[in-house]
Amino acid sequence: MVSSPRQSHPERSEASRIEASLDRSFTSFRMTTKVAIVGYGRVGKVLLKALPLAGWEVAALVTRQEVQGTKCSVLSSIKDLPDDVGLVILCLRDKDIAQALLDIQKSEISNQKFLCHTAGPQSAETLAPARDKGWQVMSWHPMQTFTGDDDVSILQGITFGIDGDETAVLVGERLARDLGGVPYRVPPELRREYHLGAVIACNLLIGLVGEAVELLKSTGMDEARALQAVTPLMQATIANIARKGLTESITGPVLRGDTATIERHLETLRQFPEAEKLYGLLSLALVKRLGDDVDRGALREMLEKQQ
C-alpha cells in the first residue's frame, strides 16, 4: 500500500514560525526587564510574590508601608524609581491613579517603557498623558477577589482584562499567561460593562448569600451555622455552572414551572421586603433564560405582575 504524500500547509508553518519567534522575544524581554510595583495593597501583595515565581524580576516596590522579607528595593515615592525599570504596575485605588500618573511624569524613567494599572473599570486612556514621555500604556485587570492574605495560586486560571497600546497589550498578555491566567482584550469603551460583570459575580453574590443567611437565621440558626448550610449548596451550584453552563444548572420550582410554590415563597417573603424583590427579579430572570412553555408561561406572567 502506497502512502499518500504528506500535505504541506505553508500558512500553518509560517504561523508556527512567527509564534516561536514571538515566544523567544518575550522570553528575552522577561529575562531583561525589571518590574516595579506601585502600591502594597491586596493586589500588590500577591504580585510581589507571584511575579518572581513566574520568572519576572521585581526590582522595586513603592509604598509607605513597612514591608518584611522582600528582596527588592522598597521606595517611598514613584519619583525615586531607577531608570532601568522597564514595566511599572500601578496597584492602586482608582482615585489614586491620577496622582501616581503625575509622579510618573516627573520621574526620570523614559525611553519606551511600559506602564499599566490594575483598575477594572478604567481603560488604558487613564494613563494617556504618560505617552508624551515615551511610555506605552495598558489597563491590566486581574478578575479575581483578593483579601490580603492570598496565596499565588489564586491567580491560576483567572481572566486578565487588558486594553491599551498594541505592544503593551502583547506584554500584558504574556505576563498574564506567565502567571497562569487567561488574557482577554476588553474593548475600551466597554470597560464599565466588563467590570460590572465581575462585580455582580463577586460582591453582589455576597449580598445575595446574605439574604439567604438572614432567612435561615429566622429558623433559629446563627450566622456561622447558616453559612455552613449554604456553602456546600453554593459550591455544587458553581461546579454545575462550570461543567454544564447556566441553563442546564437551573433546578427547583422555576425549572418545574411550579407557580404555586413560588407564590407561597413570595407570600412568606413579604416580611423580608429586600429578599422579596430579589427573589422575584431573579426568578423572572431564570424563567426568561429557560424560555416559556405552558407552565413557565403562567409563571412568567405572575412574576412580571409582581415587579
What CATH number should be reported for the domain holding residue 254? 1.10.1040
Q: Are residues 142 and 28 in the same domain?
A: yes
**Three cell numbers, residue 293:** 412553555
Integer Cα distance of 143 and 156 in angstroms: 11
Residue that is written with C-alpha cell 502583547 in the block: 170
Number of H helices, E strands in the chain: 11, 8
Residue 271 in any domain: the answer is yes
Q: Looking at residue 127, what is its pLDDT? A: 96
Rounded mean pLDDT, 117-122: 96
Q: What is the pTM of this model?
A: 0.88
Structural domain harbouring 104 = 14-187
Reported confidence tier of residue 104, pLDDT bands at 50, 70, 90: confident
Any domain includes 73? yes
Q: Is the pLDDT of residue 7 over 70?
A: no
- Let me know whether 139 and 283 are in one domain: no
Grid coordinates representing 200?
A: 455582580
Flag whether pLDDT at 294 surpasses 90: no
Give domain status of residue 129, yes or no.
yes
Rounded-to-integer distance, Cα 271 and Cα 292, Å: 30
Whether 151 maps to a domain, the answer reads: yes
Does a structural domain hold residue 118? yes
Same domain flag for 293 and 223: yes
Among the three residues 187, 219, 239, which one is the final residue of a domain in this structure? Answer: 187
Q: Which three cell numbers stand for residue 245?
A: 453552563
Give 46-63 pLDDT, tens digit per residue.
Answer: 999 999 999 999 999 999
Strand order in the sheet with 182-185: 73-75, 57-62, 34-38, 85-90, 114-117, 136-143, 159-164, 182-185
Question: What pLDDT shows up at residue 2?
Answer: 47
Examine the pLDDT at 19 and tell me if it is beyond 60: no
Express each pLDDT in 161-214 by its tens digit. 999 999 999 999 999 999 999 999 999 999 999 999 999 999 999 999 999 999
- Residue 3: the pLDDT is 47
* Structural domains in the chain (count): 2
Confidence of residue 132 (pLDDT cuts 50, 70, 90): confident
- Whether residues 219 and 291 share a domain: the answer is yes
Residue 294 lies in a domain: yes
Q: How confident is the model at residue 1 (pLDDT cuts 50, 70, 90)?
A: very low
Do 178 and 222 reside in the same domain of the chain?
no
Q: Is residue 7 included in any domain, yes or no?
A: no
Domain identity same for 152 and 282: no
Strand partners of residue 137: 115
Do 173 and 207 fall within a single domain?
no
Q: What is the CATH number of the domain that holds 178?
A: 3.40.50.720
Same structural domain, 65 and 110: yes
Same domain, 175 and 31: yes
Give the residue-averaged pLDDT of 2-10: 49
Asked whether residue 64 falls in the same domain as residue 137, the answer is yes
Same domain flag for 158 and 32: yes
- Long-range Cβ contact pairs of 150-158 (< 8 A, separation 24 or more): 150/42, 150/45, 150/46, 152/46, 152/49, 152/50, 152/53, 154/46, 155/46, 155/50, 155/179, 155/180, 155/181, 156/180, 156/181, 157/181, 157/182, 158/182
CA–CA distance, 94 with 79 (Å, rounded to integer): 20
Give the integer Cα–Cα distance in Å for 174 and 151: 21
101 part of a folded domain: yes
Per-residue pLDDT, averaged over 99-127, amounts to 87
